[in-house]
Amino acid sequence: MKKKALSLLITYLVSNVSISAEHKVRGLIDTRVSQVDGLNTHVNGNYGKYRFDHGTSLTLSQAVINYHLDFDAPLSINVVAIGYLDGIDDSIGISEASLKYQGIPSSSGVRFSSRAGFIYPKISFENNATGWTSPYTLTYSTINNWIGEELKHTGLEFTLDFLGKFRQSKHNLSLTTSVYKNNDTTGTLLSWRGWTQSSRQTLWHERLPVPPVKARFGGWLKHQAAETDPFIELDHRYGFEGSIEWQWNNQVKLRLGHYDNNADTKVFKNGQYVWETTFSHAGLHYKLTPKTTFISQFLTGDTLMTSPWGMPVVDNDFQSGFALLTHKHKSHRYTARIEEFSVTDNDLTPDDDNNEYGKSITLSYQYRFNRNIFLQAEYNWLNSDRPARAYSNQDISLTEQQYQLAAKYYW
């Protein structure tokens, strides 16, 4: 069903291209050498916090193509395709596909815009480069990694901007609301695998392996499929997301928002449970100087999965927050990020302990050879306590480290 929906969307977009439209194609090729001291990666259903397996690897981390089409009318099309050749789960597919309308501001500075398609909610201040990648670090924060894996959806987004320059003011205000589907299993990975750090976005067609939680093998979770489908639609209900953003003098941005997938947890089909997930988020983007920027985000919420009769099976609270400081000096960029995260298990389901607490540090250095070529080195340190690792005879308390060297080509 979802493949057919995406195919129809792309067919509609392509069939309506006008001769006067302006085409833009951008891309990124990201190759890396990685050294991981820790568990094998969560990408393959293990409990490792990083994208790559324990040991050393040489990979094509990602190849991104971003096609953008601007019409004479206030309409544009944006499609992002990503390919991975990392030896973990080689894949290629669509990451985003949307149609955007952006109106002309009124004399008082009020502007209406909207998006429709397979899109990210407006949450991240960190991932703002080509193809929703980060210009600051190779490894995303736990918040934005979760967004990249489970939180895209198919829907409609509406934004109302109040632009201060039309009123000789340095203040801008934006109100955004969205209605969406294809979000019914949101919370699955966060509950059974916990928070992770990666740079891999889930593609439209992908299904992701579930860790070997003991209750899946003959216990209360025995009907759960071995893989979760993050973009499946099961309950045919719409979710909602809204945010408000205040901007001052192109220097400070503050965003507050709330997400609710409005799910019916009694729905179950082909091993896929529907999860009711809600959270609130806050973000700050502050240019301390023209070359130094501070970014911080915080997210807190809860997720619930029940039996088809409504009995709670998984009931978790979760939260994560980070602070990032980045500084540019000529061709150099220096970035540091600290973060803390947790999952609190509130249910009594046996052999399914989802509790987790962790903290991490990321240090990254980037050198720009020219407008296209970048070299980047990064160190990641992450300490976490997760009792579920005992189900696989692994340490409950664990420190994992990662070293990466990347060559990136933007075009």
Alpha-carbon distance 149 to 231, whole Å?
10
Average pLDDT over residues 217-245: 96
Question: Has residue 17 got a pLDDT over 50?
Answer: no
Other Cβ atoms closer than 10 A to 22: 10
Question: What residues make up the domain containing 325?
Answer: 2-410
Question: Has residue 307 got a pLDDT over 70?
Answer: yes
Q: What is the model's pLDDT at position 230?
A: 96
Question: Has residue 65 got a pLDDT over 80?
Answer: yes
Q: What is the model's pLDDT at position 346?
A: 98
Of all residues in the chain, the percent with pLDDT exceeding 70 is 95
Buried b (16+ CB within 10 A) or exposed e, 176-215: bbbebbbbbbbbbbbbbbbbbbbbbbbbbebbbbbbebbb
Average pLDDT over residues 326-352: 98
| The amino acid at 143 | I
**CATH number for 312:** 2.40.160.10
CA distances from residue 319 to 188, 357, 361 in whole angstroms, order as listed: 15, 10, 17
Q: What is the model's pLDDT at position 72?
A: 79
Average pLDDT over residues 3-8: 54
Dump pLDDT digits (tens) for 102-124: 999 999 999 999 999 999 999 99
Question: Has residue 185 got a pLDDT over 90?
Answer: yes
Q: What is the model's pLDDT at position 73?
A: 78
Alpha-carbon distance 386 to 176, whole Å?
36
Q: What is the model's pLDDT at position 15?
A: 52
Question: Has residue 7 got a pLDDT over 50?
Answer: yes
Our count of domains for the chain comes to 1
Question: Has residue 18 got a pLDDT over 50?
Answer: no
237-240 long-range CB contacts below 8 Å, 24 or more apart? 237/181, 237/262, 237/263, 237/264, 238/155, 238/179, 238/180, 238/181, 238/262, 239/153, 239/155, 239/179, 239/180, 239/181, 239/183, 239/263, 240/177, 240/178, 240/179, 240/180
Q: What is the model's pLDDT at position 4?
A: 59
230 Cβ partners below 8 Å, 6+ apart? Answer: 149, 150, 152, 185, 186, 188, 189, 202, 206, 207, 208
Q: What is the model's pLDDT at position 48?
A: 97
What's the pLDDT band for 8 if we cut at 50, 70, 90?
low
Dump pLDDT digits (tens) for 239-290: 999 999 999 999 999 999 999 999 999 999 999 999 999 999 999 999 999 9
Q: What is the model's pLDDT at position 21?
A: 80
Helices within 66-193 (DSSP H only): 142-150, 188-192
Dump pLDDT digits (tens) for 139-184: 999 999 999 999 999 999 999 999 999 999 999 999 999 999 999 9
HSE of 302 in the Cβ direction (CA atoms, 13 Å)? 10
Average pLDDT over residues 329-339: 99
Average pLDDT over residues 193-201: 97
Mean pLDDT rounded to a whole number for the chain: 95
Tell me, yes or no, if the pTM score tops 0.75: yes
